[in-house]
Structure 1
């Protein structure tokens, strides 16, 4: 059985949390804290791309990130349930909501996949 690299886990999660919370703080200044997650994700990806240009990204970081991505799939179940409840109350605004939901989910995932395939 493979040992867990707790140091890599700690620093990977710390990196994600710092970027996310920093982005939320910045977007609060502009009165749009709801964009914090997206801004945090994009800034973390940009930082990793710049880092990758000059130095190699640690295999420990990549392995830990892969494990987090695999295990975090269950985090979407409560989001799906909340979206279903929201859909019931939207009425005539459902098409716009579904368009925004689809675009804001698929576009970042597609961009992330393209970037990961090419540069990571």
Structure 2
């Protein structure tokens, strides 16, 4: 119970609200172009762009940076259901597995790696 007293709740609520706001607005905008599936990516990139511009003119509050670091470390568990679904899909794919893994690598790992490099350099 002592652990919850050390959490900066206003920073967590603001950070999560900021992420949700950018994602939902991006999905809404991309829905107007009949591509709501691009909402997550455009939201991520627009938030990154905003933070890069903010950092250029003003320092990003350390509370926001600390909360974001903690959130990124803990969010690995969000991928567990996706991994389970992918495993079930792999079982039924047979000979198409190498192509599937190539697509997964290109569409997931490389963008995440690029985003991490950009965030490390500019934030």
Map of 1:85 onto structure 2: 88
2:111 matched to 1:108?
yes
TM-score (norm 1): 0.89
Q: Which moved more, 1:23-32 or 1:83-92?
A: 83-92
Deviations 1:52-91 (A, max 9, x none): 1111111000000011111111111111001112223445
Q: 2:25 aligns with which of 22, 27, 42?
A: 22
Q: Which moved more, 1:99-108 or 1:65-74?
A: 99-108
Alignment of 1:7-86 (within 5 A): 7-86=10-89
2:120 matched to 1:117?
yes
Long gaps (5+) in structure 2: none
TM-score (norm 2): 0.87
RMSD across aligned positions (CA): 1.7
How many pairs does the alignment contain?
120
Given the superposition, is the C-alpha separation of residues 28 and 51 from structure 1 closer, same or farther in structure 2, using an over 3 Å criterion?
A: same
Misfit runs of 4+, over 6 Å: none
Given the superposition, is the C-alpha separation of residues 32 and 88 from structure 1 closer, same or farther in structure 2, using an over 3 Å criterion?
A: farther
